[in-house]
């Protein structure tokens, strides 16, 4: 038996209502605690927001759009979110990757179909992916967790050995064809760093596996529906939410035994830095943020007119042509430059969800990576890339809405310099984000925890950062 806790107004307070804050709040409330969730904005959700950014009737996802990691999340999958209105829609093809000659490579729902398009790389693709897909159910929870002894160490090593390599190395080891290499590059470029960096293969492999197992779904009605379902479940458990609640100092919060912050180190230092040890404060000050993004939402008079027409069957389209071109684009951006032909990540939700646009009209969502903190317009570069693979695209634009890195950060304070991953996810910060500690979720101040994407396993709408932080709180403070 632990020492009885002094009565507080709440057992726990969670600051920030992104997917990790919501996950932490739900788990704590599920465990019998009284929990308050506070959000600075008028609406909850963090990156899970959907708004009419261009014209009336056109619903655009403000940040996150397609959700393979939400479908993969061990914790979200355990929650009754369908009962709270969440409905996923699956496109026939998870992702498409067009090339200059009018053809394209695709991530299909099956290994056989995906591998079958790669010609002499078919056997190599199957040899790489079949064992990983087979063992994935046994390691998914361990991959989406802080550094620890896994339940299945041999299986984890089988994944970890290729995952720790650079995307360029893995491609050169396994693939020869343009199609296999290009599709792989589009996956790995989600890492938002040069493809020559170690661990960039991890992101590509997880996304490939997701497409081959549970798919890359989009929520009917917009990404806000994920936040809406999570908050509805939290409230049904007895939790409390307060919006328009900006926290700039600990003294603003009601009394509690634990406070969990779904924010990045920079904001945490401003709010609670005075309570931290010198070494912990120093580590947070040294935390590294990565590249930003420049994002455009389009209201369209019709679907994107891809030369490779099957791209219209994919909710996600990667534009960048060859592996070499994508690698060059990402390296140039990392060096603070603006490549003429940037890698573009596009989503076309209205092709599969008619609630997103008026009848006969469509939406499209796209971004490229840019130097940290950039406010340089990338409209021309992005739309030229789209036009390259979809001639006539510009003629279908009814309206556009743009967001540079400053506007993204203004919308969501966690997007420091436009970094949507909560900090670089490279070898130096993969397991030690945001600081090198026994538990990455504990701060040096008793009762204060961090649960954002600046902790393992990092960015993505999976809630696992919040889940693991809440587990730590339950063990440390409540002996659960």
**So what's the pLDDT on residue 1?**
40
Q: Which helix (H) or strand (E) holds 450?
A: strand 448-450
**So what's the pLDDT on residue 6?**
75
| Residue 231 belongs to some domain of the structure | no
Give the DSSP letter string of 301-317.
SS----SSGGGGGEEEE
How many Å apart are CA 423 and CA 457, to the nearest integer?
A: 12
Of 40, 33, 32, 42, give the one whose Cα is nearest residue 15: 40
**Domain check: are 131 and 277 in the same one?**
no
Q: Which DSSP state fits 367?
A: E
Burial (CB count <10 Å: 0-12, 13-18, 19+), residue 217: buried
Distant-in-sequence, close-in-space partners of 345: CB < 8 Å, separation ≥ 6: 189, 190, 316, 318, 319, 366, 367, 368
Q: Which DSSP state fits 66?
A: -
**Domain check: are 134 and 173 in the same one?**
yes
**Domain check: are 173 and 117 in the same one?**
yes
Of 401, 417, 433, the residue at which a domain comes to its end is 417
365 beta partners:
297, 347
**So what's the pLDDT on residue 431?**
83
> How do strand 397-403 and strand 240-242 relate by DSSP bridges?
unpaired
Distant-in-sequence, close-in-space partners of 58: CB < 8 Å, separation ≥ 6: 52, 299, 356, 357, 358, 361, 363, 399
Q: Which DSSP state fits 377?
A: -
**Domain check: are 301 and 382 in the same one?**
yes
Give the DSSP letter string of 151-199.
SSHHHHHHHHHHHTS-HHHHHHHH--SHHHHHHHHHHHGGG-S-TTSTT
Q: Which helix (H) or strand (E) holds 435?
A: none
**Domain check: are 368 and 301 in the same one?**
yes
| Residue 172 belongs to some domain of the structure | yes
pLDDT by residue (tens digit) across 364-377? 999 999 999 999 99
H-type helices in 379-437, by residue range?
379-389, 405-411
**Domain check: are 331 and 407 in the same one?**
yes
Task: Provide the domain limits for residue 268.
Answer: 10-40+245-289+421-478
Of 227, 240, 222, 218, give the one whose Cα is nearest residue 84: 227
How many Å apart are CA 277 and CA 284, to the nearest integer?
A: 11
> How do strand 292-300 and strand 362-370 relate by DSSP bridges?
antiparallel
How many Å apart are CA 433 and CA 449, to the nearest integer?
A: 13
Q: What backbone phi and psi angles, to 5 degrees, belong to 115?
A: -65, -35
CATH code of residue 23: 3.50.50.60
| Residue 234 belongs to some domain of the structure | no
| Residue 2 belongs to some domain of the structure | no
**Domain check: are 405 and 356 in the same one?**
yes
| Residue 228 belongs to some domain of the structure | no
CATH code of residue 406: 3.30.519.10
Residues in the chain, pLDDT under 50: 1-2
**Domain check: are 210 and 304 in the same one?**
no
Length of the chain: 480
Of 364, 396, 417, the residue at which a domain comes to its end is 417
SS3 208: helix
Token pair for residue 176?
């020869």
How many Å apart are CA 33 and CA 244, to the nearest integer?
A: 23
Sign of CA dihedral 311, 317, 318, 320: positive
**Domain check: are 322 and 340 in the same one?**
yes
| Residue 463 belongs to some domain of the structure | yes
**Domain check: are 381 and 325 in the same one?**
yes
**Domain check: are 446 and 388 in the same one?**
no
**Domain check: are 169 and 121 in the same one?**
yes
The total of structural domains in the chain comes to 3
> How do strand 93-98 and strand 448-450 relate by DSSP bridges?
unpaired
Contact 38, 246 (CB under 8 A): no
| Residue 219 belongs to some domain of the structure | no
Secondary structure of 214-253 in HEC code, one letter for each residue = CCCCEECCCCHHHHHHHHHHHHHCCCEEECCCCCCCHHHC
| Residue 221 belongs to some domain of the structure | no
Of 374, 391, 417, the residue at which a domain comes to its end is 417
């Amino acid at each position: 038996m632990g020492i009885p806790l002094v009565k507080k107004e709440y057992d726990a307070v969670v600051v920030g209502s992104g997917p990790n804050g919501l996950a932490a709040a739900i788990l704590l409330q599920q465990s019998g605690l009284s929990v308050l969730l506070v959000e600075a904005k008028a609406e909850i959700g963090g990156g899970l927001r959907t708004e009419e950014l261009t014209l009336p009737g056109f619903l655009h996802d403000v940040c996150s759009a397609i959700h393979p990691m939400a479908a993969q999340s061990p914790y979200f999958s355990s929650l009754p979110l369908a009962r709270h209105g969440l409905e996923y829609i699956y496109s026939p093809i998870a992702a498409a990757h067009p090339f200059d000659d009018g053809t394209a490579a695709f991530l299909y729902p099956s290994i056989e179909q995906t591998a079958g398009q790669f010609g002499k790389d078919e056997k190599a693709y199957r040899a790489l992916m079949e064992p990983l897909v087979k063992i994935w159910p046994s390691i998914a929870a361990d991959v989406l967790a802080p550094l620890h002894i896994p339940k299945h160490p041999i299986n984890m090593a089988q994944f970890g050995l290729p995952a720790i390599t650079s995307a360029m190395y893995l491609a050169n080891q396994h693939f020869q064809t343009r199609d296999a290499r290009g599709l792989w590059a589009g996956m790995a470029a989600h890492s938002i760093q040069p493809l020559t960096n170690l661990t960039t293969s991890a992101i590509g492999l997880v996304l490939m596996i997701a497409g081959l197992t549970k798919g890359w779904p989009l929520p009917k009605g917009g990404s806000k529906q994920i936040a809406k379902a999570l908050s509805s479940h939290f409230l049904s458990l007895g939790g409390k939410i307060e919006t328009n609640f900006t926290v700039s100092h600990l003294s603003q919060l009601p009394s509690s035994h634990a406070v969990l912050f779904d924010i990045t180190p920079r904001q945490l230092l401003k709010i609670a830095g005075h309570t931290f040890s010198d070494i912990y404060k120093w580590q947070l000050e040294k935390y590294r943020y990565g590249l930003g993004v420049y994002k455009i939402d389009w209201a369209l008079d019709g679907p994107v007119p891809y030369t490779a027409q099957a791209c219209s069957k994919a909710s996600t389209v990667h534009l960048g042509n060859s592996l070499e071109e994508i690698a060059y684009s990402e390296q140039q951006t990392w060096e603070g430059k603006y490549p003429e032909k940037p890698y573009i990540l596009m989503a076309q939700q209205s092709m599969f969800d008619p609630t997103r646009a008026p009848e006969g009209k469509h939406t499209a969502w796209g971004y490229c990576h840019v130097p940290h903190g950039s406010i340089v317009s990338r409209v021309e570069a992005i739309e030229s890339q789209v036009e390259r693979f979809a001639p006539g695209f510009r003629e279908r634009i009814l309206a556009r809405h743009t967001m540079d890195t400053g506007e993204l950060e203004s919308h969501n304070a966690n997007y420091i310099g436009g970094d949507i991953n909560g900090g670089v996810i490279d070898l130096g910060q993969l397991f030690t984000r945001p600081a090198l500690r026994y538990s990455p979720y504990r701060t040096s101040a008793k009762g204060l925890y961090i649960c954002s994407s600046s902790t393992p396993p990092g960015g993505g709408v999976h809630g696992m950062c919040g889940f693991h932080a809440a587990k730590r709180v339950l063990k440390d403070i409540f002996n659960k």
